[in-house]
Structures are given as C-alpha cells and as structure tokens.
Chains A and B, each alone.
Chain A
Amino acid sequence: DTEVTQTPKHLVMGMTNKKSLKCEQHMGHRAMYWYKQKAKKPPELMFVYSYEKLSINESVPSRFSPECPNSSLLNLHLHALQPEDSALYLCASSQEGGTVNQPQHFGDGTRLSIL
C-alpha cells in the first residue's frame, strides 16, 4: 500500500500560535520530505530526512522546525508564522535514504491558513 498520511487536512492558526503538522508512512521508506506548495505553483522542497537525520534544509526560516522521531513519522513544528506562509504543505517519502533520485510518494497535504 503506497500511502502517506498527513494530519490535519486543514489548519487555521494565528501568527502567535504554535502548531504541528504530522506525516506517517508504513512502507518502510527511509527518506521523507516536506514541500510547500502555493496555489497554481509547483511544490518547493523545504527539508529532506534520510535515515531519520536531516540531510537537506533549503534555507527555510527557523519558524519552521522539522522533526523525525522515527523512520515512519515526520513532524513539522510551526511557530510565529506569517500570512505568506499560508500554503499546502506536502509530505513525501521514498524507499531509499541517501539519494533523492527515486520515486517520491506524496500525502494529500495540510492546507494551512495564517490569520
């Protein structure tokens, strides 16, 4: 079953709130990703975890804090976000760690709105 599950599906938060996005996969994949997608734009890479270690941070502001508690879970902690951070946040996973040159399977995303 090629499935990546993201919760919540929708999130509305104020600029002073702290919230977390969650991503889970049970395919035994060893690489996990966070992407940000604005309306009518392509996904943009934020972070890559390989074997539960952060391997790529695309110069993302510190108000976004990723965490990989184990090989199946990926979190994105949010704090003091700005209105321009409103977007669809996509999680993805792929089978092998150490390389991004392989199929990535996406979740349905969390649609985030910052008031």
Chain B
Amino acid sequence: GENVEQHPSTLSVQEGDSAVIKCTYSDSASNYFPWYKQELGKRPQLIIDIRSNVGEKKDQRIAVTLNKTAKHFSLHITETQPEDSAVYFCAASFQKLVFGTGTRLLVSP
C-alpha cells in the first residue's frame, strides 16, 4: 500500500521568511496530492492540491511542486505570517487518501 513520508517534523521560521515542507510517496499509481493545514483543535483544511499531470501549482503565497519521477512533492510558503502557524499534512491518493506524518510550522513575529 501507499506510504507517505514527510519532513521536517518541526519547522521554525521568522515572519517573512519562506518555508518548505517535503514529502515522498511510494505508490507510483498515486495521482492526486493535496495539502491540509490543521490548527490546534480544528479541522484539517485543504489549502492546495495538485494532480499528477501538473508539475507546479501556485495560489498567492502557497505553491506546490511535484516530481513524479522521483515521487517527491513539496509545499512552499512565501512571506510567512504568524497565522500560518499550524500542522501541515501532505497526502497522496490512488485508491485512498494516505497522509504524511505532519509538519508543525511555527512562525515567530
């Protein structure tokens, strides 16, 4: 079955810096890759997603890149703000959605 690894587990940045979170997946048949943000005590919220026929997607300060050959995908957040602080989960999907282990992002003012 699918296995998704996510790094780093914790990421601390200063406000205004960029943050990058990386994931690798094992099942080459996976074709949908969403990213979720989960604030403490709240629901996971979809922030961006990408399909396997696309290499990069951007939405304002957030971008995701996908390398199908290497089975890597990454989340890039630019100009980070304190409200970006949360746990971020990547996920990969073919027959079911499998989540990575999560990255706790802390943005300090």
Point out the residue from B43, B49, B51 that lies within 8 Å of A90, measured CB to CB. B43
What CA separation (Å) do A68 and B108 show in the bound complex? 44
Chain B contacts for A44, CB-based, 8 A: 99
The dominant DSSP class at the B interface is: strand
What CA separation (Å) do A107 and B42 show in the bound complex? 9
What CA separation (Å) do A64 and B86 show in the bound complex? 30
Chain B contacts for A56, CB-based, 8 A: 95-96
What CA separation (Å) do A35 and B100 show in the bound complex? 14
For chain A, which range describes its interface: under 10, 10 to 19, 20 to 34, or 35 or more residues? 20 to 34
Chain B contacts for A106, CB-based, 8 A: 36, 43-45
Question: What are 18 A-B contacts with C-beta separation under 8 Å?
Answer: A41-B102, A42-B102, A43-B89, A45-B97, A48-B96, A56-B96, A58-B96, A90-B44, A100-B93, A101-B32, A101-B94, A103-B34, A104-B34, A104-B97, A106-B36, A106-B44, A108-B43, A109-B43
